[in-house]
Amino acid sequence: MNLIIYSRRRGAARHIHLLRPLPLLALAIVSSIVFAGGYFLASAKLDGATPSVVQELMEELHVRDEQLASTNRQSQEQLDALTARIGQLNAHILRIDALGRRLVSMADLDDGEFNFDEPPARGGPDTGEIGASAPSSEIAAMLDTLDLRIDDRSDQLSVLEQLLTDRRVSEEQQPEGRPVASGWLSSYYGKRSDPFSGKKRFHGGIDFAGHEGSDVLAVAAGVVTWSGERRGYGTMVEVSHGNGLVTRYAHNKQNLVEVGETVKKGQKIALMGRSGRATGPHVHFEVLRQGRRVNPLKFVQR
């Protein structure tokens, strides 16, 4: 197709061919159609895929929620276990503190030297360094180690307590001191003039004179093996202290203990009198070791 344009200035006609722009126009139209079609096709595909993608995301979120819940449960269980372990350790520590206080009392130690009622005094300069917190596995290992150390200390303290108890029992059972609350030494151990015949005789104990009815005391802890009348001794109490040691308290006005009774050191066991072969109120005190009389004076003077 030709277009003729006539110009007065130039006085001539110009011919323009209109068929040349068609290929470019056609290409533009085709490109627009392809773009539009691709857009609508992609939109259609995306719209169709959206429900499945959302479903997958929801399922993944659900799995993550379950994993998080499981992790929380495990963390809570571990926390509960650690709390229970700490409670057990606290109970052990309270037991050890009580045992320590008892040992301090038994050993007559200075209160300032061992004080189980207060935490141990500690200190030091601040270096400004901050250490990292230990993970839970390390904390559990530390608690196990602490538990073992507490058990070890508890066993050692128990052994120490038994040793101190045995020592104290041994000391309680060892004859020591005077068998009277008040009185004076009136006759010694060994050969002397008999107060009734005037002849030389062996005196197997020592005598403490005093007021009739005054207290007669056990010089050591033990078990009463005799309580009653005995020839030459009058009313007598005999106490066995173990390890072959026996003490006798004779010429009593009245016995206050019975055979088989356990007595403590310093306990009142009789009242002073003049029963049996006696010239006045006094206590005849004897100490026997393995059945043989020994001088009681060395026990009195301890």
- Please give the single-letter amino acid code of residue 155: D
Of 204 and 7, more confident: 204
pTM, two decimal places: 0.49
Does the pLDDT at position 33 exceed 70? no
Beta bridge partners of 94: none
Cβ atoms within 10 A of the Cβ of 287, count? Answer: 25
Taking only the tens place, the pLDDT of each residue in 36-79 is 555 444 454 445 556 677 677 777 887 887 888 888 888 788 77
- Please give the single-letter amino acid code of residue 277: R
Dist. CA 207–CA 76, nearest whole Å: 78
Domain limits of the chain?
68-115+138-173, 184-300
Architecture of domain 184-300: Distorted Sandwich (2.70)
Average pLDDT rounded to a whole number, residues 9-28:
48
Taking only the tens place, the pLDDT of each residue in 244-283 is 899 999 999 999 999 999 999 999 999 999 999 899 999 9
Cβ atoms within 10 A of the Cβ of 25, count? Answer: 9
Rounded alpha-carbon distances, angstroms, from residue 50 to 53, 57, 59, 60: 5, 11, 14, 15
Handedness of CA 211, 212, 213, 216 (dihedral sign): positive
